[in-house]
Chain A
Amino acid sequence: MSQFNSPADKLEGVTLSSGWKVLARIVKSPGASGGNFGICYHAEKDGRPGFVKALDFRRAFHEKDFILALNQLTSHVLWEKELLEFCNKASMSRVVRLLDYEDLILDEDQGDQTKKVCCLIFEVGAGDLRTRFDIARNPSHSWRLRVLRDVGLALDQLHRKGVAHLDVKPSNVIALAESQFEVMKLGDLGRAVRKGMPGPFDAMAWPGDVGYMPPEKWYGHNSQQWNDEREAADAYLFGSLFAFLFTGVPMNNLLHNEIPDAFKPQQYRGVFDRQLIDVLRQAQAKVIAIYLRPALPACIAQEIESMFLELTDPDPTTRGDRKARARGIVGIDRYHQKLLKLAERMSLHERGILA
């Protein structure tokens, strides 16, 4: 595969028919699924930055089971493209937008339709959350809260339209300039699923990044209920961002560290039952008491702890806003409103206006 000479590898300097000029190749795609088949580039059009994900379907022929690989590749790309178009149409302000889409054949390959490269062009920003978050730069708590608010809003926008992201993690939270403000947008919908719409990831126990998956997935638990299986998973990933932004460590690490050895996923021999949930709840409470609470400013500690507790509840059937859960829904919409208020209050504290 690595020796395969693909046209998708040779796009540097090429101007696409949509006007996008392809610039330097990048290691990791900020805000779009890298996948195994995508080659990513910086791009520019009328002084506006963008980012190109180039796909060469011929790569599938070099896979062991090429029919399966080709089918996966085309269905994944089609799925992501249609989903991004759907999000664009729904005006989701906190989801990274697909700016263009086109096929191209390089000049040197003209006449050979098999060398067609498929290009997805996304909006691009000033790095992802991992590069933006550095305690050496002393990030303010109000900034952290605004980041969380933006991600909460993105998830709300997706959930309202029956989309579960399932890959919310720091590298998929992208900083973008909107008028004079910077906002955070959620990128990489390459692993998302849609309610009532069959997709390529429906049958997968966990389509997203395994390192960030919610604890029920460590123990092989699946649910038939959309809310418990999909929206609750997004809620956990959202909660994990709280841990990341206030402690610098994703929730899974902290939780794993507090779970007794015999209950760690590698050693535990049982099923995801009530007893296991009790153990995970104990570990979750320790995470809050040991790691999160000391990192929180007193004026917002109670509210943040409460939200974190609900969002990272180890039981997917009760995870989410308490009142919303009483009605059977996860209620991610409740959080971004609270977070916005907290961010404003924190901002006043930071400027010394509130004591």
Chain B
Amino acid sequence: MKASLPPRRLIPRWRRTSATLNLPEATYSVGKRSNLVALDTDRFERVLEEWKESPTTGLLGDLLSFSVDPSLAPAVIEVAEKALAEGFHLSPAQRLIVLSLTGEESERLVIPGALGTGVCNPAIQRQVAEIRRILSVNYANPLVLLDLAQFQVASGQAKRAERTVLSALSLSPYNRVIIRTLARLYVHMSKPDKAHALIKGHVLTPTDPWLMASEVSLADLSGSSSRFASKGFRFVRDKAASSADLTELAGALGVSELKAGSVGRARDMFRLALTNPNDNVIAQAVTHQSSLGFHLDQPVLREAISTAQEAQLLIAWNSLRVDVAEQNALMWHDEEPFSSRPLQFLTALYAVQKRYTEAENLALRGLIADPDELALLANYAYALASSGKLDAADRVLQKMLSVGHGRYDAIALATKGLVALKRGQLALGDALYSEAMGAFRSRKEFSFEALCQAYYARAAQDVGHPEAHEILLRAEALYQKHGTSDAAIVLRQLDPSLEAPKEEEATRRLNQWVFDKKTDSLISRPGVSRPGAPPLIVKE
């Protein structure tokens, strides 16, 4: 139910610190010094001689110390591998270091099964135990506290998580990663004003493009004006930092422009944002692809997309590759276990695939972290109704209506229609679906109307509705006019021959290559091209 998701914002992502710390947002600094570690090769040779003469644990340890120098590491690895092969008695730590040097240390793989599809996330228990083990060494460890807080939120302990992140911030008040994480947590706790105030008032924000980016996005989310949008524009225009450090700022400004209706300026900003994008920006660009009309199948962007689960999920979903979408949603869920968005995808997908127990469990898992999350409540109610738990579905719908303040009323009407059909109240069911579609139509949300009709067709077939075929034909007709990938995924369950939604209009390139025959040169021409422009222009 991607179509029914809340709009995506370019707010800071809260990944596990092991992932965040390898990204530019963690390493941005005004300093540009290089720190080469070059060790004494003569001393290495002497130690090597001593080791060959009388190998001991101590001499091997001394030899291993040279591995921090990349130029000596291969020689150290050779010695260590030989020692292993010859059965030399290595200490457990030496063995671990040798395995790490030789790259044999098992990479951390996200195995979808490891996350489970039960209500409890088994990965959380395992990882919390690991975090507690590290914190038991020293609790005053701000970055480890962030990981702990992430799992606390996922377990529905948002208040406790807030205290944990505040502790981290008090230990390290100028750490950008912590500041952005706290802001993200406040957004999760539906306190965008607090998140905005935190970033807006921080002493680092006027000089830090990552914090400025967050300020611009959070201002938009909290409905207030941005203090740093103008300064951010100057930052981006003057290239005050590297393209990797400006990506989120340019992206945030692009989103603001898009919202204000300045598509041209939004395209310019996104073109800069996509010069060296992170996973957050690339996912935002995929979200706005139809508005921006960008051609995203370019080498730099392909590489960025390959490391961004959310972007891969969106692309897979749009191209109806549901198995790939599922894998990426699971990986995204592993990275951000507190976030409802990957679970919204998964529950919608499992419900469509009639994997109702999994859909119910994962919806409940997400509702632990965020009990009032409307998209999850909607998917939960749908899964319950589809599996025949009609009273339970009614209760969830009731809650949805009470916390939704009118936002999900039409979706609730449609699900009520499903409940009625399941109860054999066909006329009531037809009327409720009709009312829901009418509500979408009156709001000019035609793609929602088409999606609603698709679900209606599915429900009609499920209950053996006498007009099931006609309803399906109407759904397919509406899909032809206002088709979305969501509707296609539903309708393909009923009619596998259904074609994917029509391709978007011709896309624009973010830059083109110009080959000059006279000078025999190939140069890059940056700038957003006209729609459908070729990647290469040959100049006679």
Q: Which residues of A contact B (CB under 8 A)?
A: 27-28, 34, 129-136, 169-171, 209-212, 218-220, 244, 247-250, 252-254, 256-257, 260-263, 265-266, 268-271, 273-275, 278-279, 281-282, 284-286, 288-291, 293-295, 305, 309
Contacts and interface: CB of A to CB of B under 8 A. Distances in A.
Contacts of B378: none
A131 B65 contact: no
A249 B61 contact: yes
Q: Give the interface centre of A135, A256, A293 by most chain B CB atoms within 10 Å.
A: A135
8 contacts: A130-B56, A132-B58, A249-B94, A260-B26, A263-B21, A270-B30, A282-B143, A288-B138
Contact of B68 (A220, A248, A252, A275): A252
B61 A244 contact: yes
A171 B35 contact: no
Interface of B: 17-18, 21-24, 26-40, 43, 46-47, 49-50, 54, 56-62, 64-70, 89-94, 96-97, 100, 133-138, 140-144, 171-172, 174-177
A27 B49 contact: yes
Given A171-B62, A253-B97, A262-B22, A274 B175 contact: yes
Contacts of B142: 278, 281
B62 A289 contact: no
Contact of B174 (A171, A263, A274): A274
Contact of B65 (A253, A263, A284): A253
Given A275-B177, A309-B138, A253 B96 contact: no
B61 A218 contact: no
Nearest to A129: B58
B65 A248 contact: no
A270 B47 CA distance: 33
Contacts of B56: 130-134, 136
Given A211-B65, A270-B27, A282-B17, A249 B35 contact: no
Contacts of B21: 260, 262-263, 279
A130 B58 contact: yes
A130 B53 CA distance: 13
A218 B37 contact: yes
Contact of B89 (A129, A135, A211, A254): A135
Given A265-B35, A282-B143, 14 more contacts: A27-B49, A28-B46, A253-B97, A254-B93, A265-B36, A269-B33, A274-B174, A274-B175, A275-B174, A275-B175, A279-B21, A284-B138, A285-B135, A289-B133
Contacts of B96: 290-291
Contacts of B137: 285, 288-289, 293, 305, 309
Nearest to B63: A130
Contacts of B66: 211
B45 to A, nearest CB: 10
A175 to B, nearest CB: 11
A260 B18 contact: yes
B531 to A, nearest CB: 38
A249 B97 contact: yes
A247 B135 contact: no
A294 B318 CA distance: 49
Contacts of B49: 27
A139 B427 CA distance: 85
Contact of A256 (B68, B133, B171): B68
B46 A27 contact: yes
A170 B36 CA distance: 24
A262 B58 contact: no
Contacts of B60: 248
A275 B64 contact: no
B64 to A, nearest CB: 5
A248 B36 contact: no
Nearest to A273: B29
B32 to A, nearest CB: 6
B43 A253 contact: no
A271 B29 contact: yes
Given A270-B31, A279-B21, A285-B137, A249 B37 contact: no
Contacts of A249: 61, 64-65, 91, 93-94, 97
B97 A209 contact: no
B144 to A, nearest CB: 6
B40 A209 contact: yes
B490 to A, nearest CB: 42
Nearest to A134: B56
Contact of B40 (A134, A210, A281): A210
Contact of B141 (A273, A285, A291, A293): A285
A289 B64 CA distance: 20
A275 B210 CA distance: 14
A298 to B, nearest CB: 14
A220 B29 CA distance: 15
A248 B175 contact: no
A257 B93 CA distance: 11
Contacts of A129: 58
Given A275-B175, A282-B141, A269 B32 contact: yes
Contact of B27 (A248, A256, A263, A293): A263
A273 B208 CA distance: 15
A263 B177 CA distance: 14
B30 to A, nearest CB: 8
Contacts of A273: 29, 174
A332 B143 CA distance: 28
A248 B93 contact: yes
B21 to A, nearest CB: 4
Contact of A170 (B54, B62, B174): B62
Contact of B100 (A220, A257, A275): A257
A303 to B, nearest CB: 13
A232 B277 CA distance: 41
A295 B96 CA distance: 13
Contacts of A219: 35
Contact of A250 (B18, B32, B61): B61
A281 B143 CA distance: 9
Contacts of B174: 273-275
A210 B37 contact: yes
A211 B37 CA distance: 8
B27 A134 contact: no
Contact of B92 (A130, A133, A286, A294): A294
A133 B58 contact: yes
Given A210-B40, A211-B39, A265-B35, A130 B23 contact: no
A35 to B, nearest CB: 11
Contact of A27 (B50, B70, B97, B144): B50
B59 to A, nearest CB: 5
B27 A268 contact: yes
A211 B64 CA distance: 10
A256 to B, nearest CB: 5
In the A-B complex, list the 6 residue pairs whose CB atoms are closest, starting with the nearest.
A270-B29, A130-B58, A248-B91, A247-B93, A133-B58, A271-B31
Contact of A260 (B22, B67, B90, B94): B22
